[in-house]
Structure 1
Amino acid sequence: MFANLQAVLFDLDGTLIDSAPDLGAAADKLRTDRGLPSIPFERYRPMCGAGARGMLGVAFEMTPDHPEFPVYREEFFRNYEACLTERTREFDGVAQLVDALVELGVAWGVVTNKSMRFAGPLTQAMPLFRSARAVIGGDTTPHTKPHPEPLLEGARRLGVPAHCCVYVGDDERDVMAGRAAGMGTVVAGYGYLGAKGETASWGADAHIQRPLDLLALLKTGVPA
């Protein structure tokens, strides 16, 4: 399916790591600090892929056009910085997947819309990312996904042509960015799909329901 595979690039939140508990806690602290009751974590989880917009939407039904949105967003960011890796863990099977990629000689890296303010310290703190050869944040290039430039920058840093890369993510914008970059695309069906659970229309090359499912897809494209 994926001919001449040399590298795999991954989205971060909802694809490699389950950061929802820390994101939800950071948002919920805004409520409890204001004397409001806590919201069950299950309500935050589906919207974690939408970042501050999603978290503040759940916590306060606040949209980005609200006049206080920038103030609440920065407070959310500070809360999140304080708990980046307290509850965040890689999804089951991700560590084994990464080990297998390294064993196969397949380079890998991360392309996320999370700004490097958070993506940098988080990936530096987690042993999982020691073998990652690139971490591209939402502010590494002038563009964010679904624009292809962050993915193309990831390929450049890996020293691999874009058409020899596969991009794995859990949001439609990941598929859009991957296709625009000329990469193979895989939907991580275990991620933060939010209200957009119907992924068949996204146009991805493949879907997986567990991280290790990726290996069977990729091995057919790895040169012997």
Structure 2
Amino acid sequence: MNHLSASVLFDLDGTLIDTAPDFHAVINLLLKEEGLPEVSYEFLRQHVSNGARAMIAASFELAEGDERFTRLHKRMLEIYLSHLDKESKLFPGIADTLVWLNDNKIPWGVVTNKPELYTIPVLRGLGIIDQAQSIICPDHVENRKPHPEPLFLACKQLDKIPEHSVYVGDHVRDIEAGNRAGMVTIGASYGYLNDGEDPISWQADHYIECATELKPLLQSIYKDIAS
């Protein structure tokens, strides 16, 4: 693989950044407002990758058609805006990976289904927004993942070839999008898996069980510039 035509793209929640602690705090604040008991971190974590609606549905045991759902969803997002970078952090090993990518002049970016309103503050709060050379949110495309359009747009912005690039994600839709784009895909099984989910079923090219495994794997993929 020619590293000069390559890039590395990351999903956000559960792949690049551990945002579950903030979501857990927000959901429990909302449950408290509603006079309901808190949910455990372990319970909430398995719903994070499915988005805010899934977290509301699971935590309040509501269907989206319930008359209370829209109000609770709106209120959750209001609380999240003031809490979205208080406890979120890079997964262990990600900082080293980003340093390696930057040192080797391999551009990297973020492709997420998280709206720009929430994505940008999180990246800014962690001090990495200026390093990401492409940030693609649902606001920027007609089709969100698992459609490959966001990945194609990111590669276009980076002026890189999808077939020579890597996408790292912790959900089946990430791997489906990456595979459909013709990219090398890495399944992050340390992310926010649904209860009983088997990441092998995603059919990624590679898998990592901890983010500390990512840099060595990328060094192997881009072995001509491995340090």
TM-score category of the 2 structures, normalised to the smaller one: over 0.9
Q: Which moved more, 1:210-219 or 1:45-54?
A: 210-219
The CA RMSD over aligned residues, in Å, is: 1.4
- Percent identity over the alignment? 36
Match of 2:61 in 1: 61
Match of 2:197 in 1: 197
SS, match of residue 187 in structure 2: strand
Match of 2:33 in 1: 33
Shift of 1:196: 5.0
Match of 2:220 in 1: 220
Deviations along 1:21-55, whole A, 9 cap, x unmatched?
11121122221002222222221111111111221
Moved segments of 4+, more than 4 Å: none
Amino acid at match of 1:190: Y
Instruction: Assess if the C-alpha contact under 8 Å between 2:85 and 2:121 holds in 1.
Output: no
Q: Which moved more, 1:153-162 or 1:65-74?
A: 65-74
Match of 1:159 in 2: 159
Shift of 1:138: 2.1
Q: 1:4 aligns with which of 2, 5, 10?
A: 2
Q: Structure 2 stretches of 5 or more lacking a match?
A: none
Match of 1:114 in 2: 114
Q: Which moved more, 1:113-122 or 1:56-65?
A: 56-65
Match of 2:82 in 1: 82
Distance 1:106 1:125 in 2: 23
Q: Structure 1 stretches of 5 or more lacking a match?
A: none
Distance 1:220 1:99 in 2: 16
Match of 1:169 in 2: 169
Deviations along 1:43-90, whole A, 9 cap, x unmatched?
111111111122112220122232332221111111111101111111
Distance 1:197 1:100 in 2: 31
Distance 2:217 2:191 in 1: 18
In the superposition, the TM-score normalised over structure 1's length comes to 0.94
In the superposition, the TM-score normalised over structure 2's length comes to 0.92
SS, match of residue 110 in structure 2: strand
Count residues in correspondence: 222
Amino acid at match of 1:160: K
Amino acid at match of 2:130: R
Distance 2:89 2:45 in 1: 14
SS, match of residue 95 in structure 2: helix
Match of 2:105 in 1: 105
Match of 1:185 in 2: 185
SS, match of residue 43 in structure 1: helix
Instruction: Assess if the C-alpha contact under 8 Å between 1:4 and 1:221 holds in 2.
Output: no
